[in-house]
Amino acid sequence: MSELVPESEQQYGSILTLAGEAAEQNSKLLKMGVEITHIAFGDANDAYAQPNRNQTSLINEIDRIPVNAVDVQQATPDAVPMLRVEAILPPEKYDLVIREFASVATFNGQELYHAVGNCARIYVPPPANNGNMPTPVTLEMFYVITSGEAIVEIDPRVVHASRDYVAQAINKTELQISQLKIWPSKFDDYLKVGDKVPLSTNAVRLKLSDGSIQVFRVWDKAFFDETHVVSNIQEYGREQFEIQTEHGDFEAISLRLYDLRLSGDLTGWGADPTGKKDATLSVISAADSGLTINHTVSFYCQAQVIFICLWIVTSKDLNLTLMDGVVSLSLTEVRKLQSICLVVKLWLLLKIVIYMQELLRSMD
């Protein structure tokens, strides 16, 4: 571990320690997992450090940070398993050099270095311009292990978002909110039964079942030309509410869901306002109340034949208007349509079964 090693012979990477290998082997006997908890890093006194399997400490450890991801990678059951360990350097850690690191694990109540590694000199500078946010630094180790079964992996859905990502998300949300006319205006207040909604309101604060208060989007023309008194508020999950007034039923959706609908992302309950993406019936407005329903019935209309049957059936029973692929109907009619769709699907399925039976009989 000396700077005497010629630069041309210096190698970088990570290796499993003897203690880490022993922990993996014992995990099979004791039926206990090896849990990677931190990445320790140091500057090795700003000199080249050659890792070895006997290491139990770093030359000059600076700090330890919780891991962000622990992922066993093995292409086939016969392939050599590899372990990827990742951690994000906190923004308050800067003006330092990184040349060595180790994955810290816990096994059977004891802490150990599972693997050690080194890298070319990395300098983490202080934030630029006297206070700006620093550039996110990610530490990653990738090394061979004896068995992936011994490792306790971190749920990939539980990760630490970088400061930059969070800042962008906050800025986007603040921009959206700044362009809305929200009622009630106070951040700790929310819409209640009996409230009178002011004209031109296009977003409302609603209280969820868990007690939190969030901003929900309504159609721009919902409360455009007359005031409304709220008679009932119904929650449908965390992203959708139905608001009832003397003028009709109105849908309020989360800002995330609103973005998905604008983008036409049907996988996230979005709907193409033109109704031309596929054989999808996009229900996006109520003719009388000005309600943006935007329920997409693509789930019920996977084939053109179902779409045609639906139109034949529903045009007799519902007050529908079709303009540029957009169907206008009320919430009650949406539910009726969904019921009819289910009946049509069952009818088509029965027809297919009868046809197959007749086909089999003709072959006999």
For residues 145 and 51, membership in a common domain is answered with yes
pLDDT at 230: 93
For residues 142 and 232, membership in a common domain is answered with no
- Give a yes or no: residue 1 inside a domain: no
pLDDT at 167: 64
pLDDT at 149: 83
- Give a yes or no: residue 200 inside a domain: yes
Q: Domain total for the chain?
A: 2
Tokens 């909110």: give the residue.
177
For residues 206 and 337, membership in a common domain is answered with yes
pLDDT at 335: 62
Which residues contact residue 7 at a Cβ distance below 8 angstroms, ignoring those fewer than 6 apart?
Answer: none
- Give a yes or no: residue 359 inside a domain: no
Query: Which has the closest alpha carbon to 63: 93, 95, 19?
Result: 93
- Give a yes or no: residue 299 inside a domain: yes
* pLDDT tens track, the chain, 364 positions: 445 677 777 889 999 999 999 999 998 888 888 999 999 999 999 999 999 999 999 999 999 999 988 988 887 888 889 999 999 888 888 889 999 999 999 998 899 999 999 999 999 888 764 455 566 788 999 999 998 888 876 654 555 555 555 666 666 666 666 778 888 988 789 999 999 998 888 889 999 988 888 889 887 677 877 889 999 999 987 788 999 998 888 888 888 777 766 654 433 333 333 333 332 233 333 223 333 333 333 333 334 344 444 444 444 444 443 333 334 444 555 566 667 777 777 888 888 888 888 888 887 6
pLDDT at 160: 55
- Give a yes or no: residue 25 inside a domain: yes
For residues 140 and 208, membership in a common domain is answered with no
What would the 3-class secondary structure string for the chain be?
CCCCCCHHHCCCEEEECHHHHHHHHHHHHHCCCEEEEEEEEECHHHCCCCCCCCCCCCCCEEEEEECCEEEEECCCCCCCCEEEEEEEECCCCCCEEEEEEEEEEEECCEEEEEEEEEEEEEEECCCCCCCCCCCCEEEEEEEECCCHHHEECCCCCCCCCCHHHHHHHHHHHHHHHHCCCEECCCCCCCCCCCCEECCCECEEEEECCCCCEEEEECCCCCECCCCEEEEEEEECCCCEEEEEECCEEEEEEEHHHHHHHHHCCHHHCCCCCCCCCCCCCEEEECCCCCCCCCEECCCCCCCHHHHHHHHHHHHHHCCCEEECCEEECCHHHHHHHHHHHHHHHHHHHHHHHHHHHHHHHHHC
pLDDT at 278: 30
- Give a yes or no: residue 170 inside a domain: no
For residues 117 and 67, membership in a common domain is answered with yes
126, 152, 178: which is the final residue of a domain?
152
Q: How far apart are CA 17 and CA 10, in angstroms?
A: 19
pTM, two decimals, is 0.46
For residues 252 and 126, membership in a common domain is answered with no
- Give a yes or no: residue 43 inside a domain: yes
For residues 243 and 133, membership in a common domain is answered with no
Helices (H), 100-199: 163-178
152, 178, 201: which is the final residue of a domain?
152
User: Domain span at residue 59?
Assistant: 7-152
- Give a yes or no: residue 363 inside a domain: no
How far apart, in Å, are the Cα atoms of 223 and each of 96, 234, 318?
57, 18, 25
